[in-house]
Amino acid sequence: MKDLSARLMNSLGLAYWVEISTQVPRCIYYFGPFALQNSAKAAVAGYVEDLEAEGAQGIAVQVTRCKPDNLTVFDESEEVAQGNRPFSIASSQA
């Protein structure tokens, strides 16, 4: 039931998402959707821990209502120039 409400809210653009930006690599990751802001906030520590384990640096987090088009957004020109690829971290459902 909780999953259904998050999906419905997401279709209306009312769901909460965890937005995590990193400086290295220069990426923005979206995790969600969540029906409740508290649920999204409770999930933050796990996402940050995973990114830190992958070597991400300069991590900034915010919980926001949005409807992202892409779950991972990265600066392609920077990544190609350095020969790196962004981490592949899948979205989590609330």
pLDDT number for residue 76 = 73
**Domain locations in the chain?**
2-82
Helix (H) or strand (E) holding 19: strand 16-22
Alpha carbons within 13 angstroms on the beta-carbon side of residue 33 total: 22
Provide the 3-class DSSP secondary structure of residue 13. Answer: coil
* pLDDT tens-digit readout, 43-79: 999 999 999 999 999 999 999 999 999 999 987 766 5
Q: Look up the pTM and report it.
A: 0.78
Burial code (b: 16+ CB inside 10 Å, e: under 16) for 34-44 equals: bbeeebbeebe
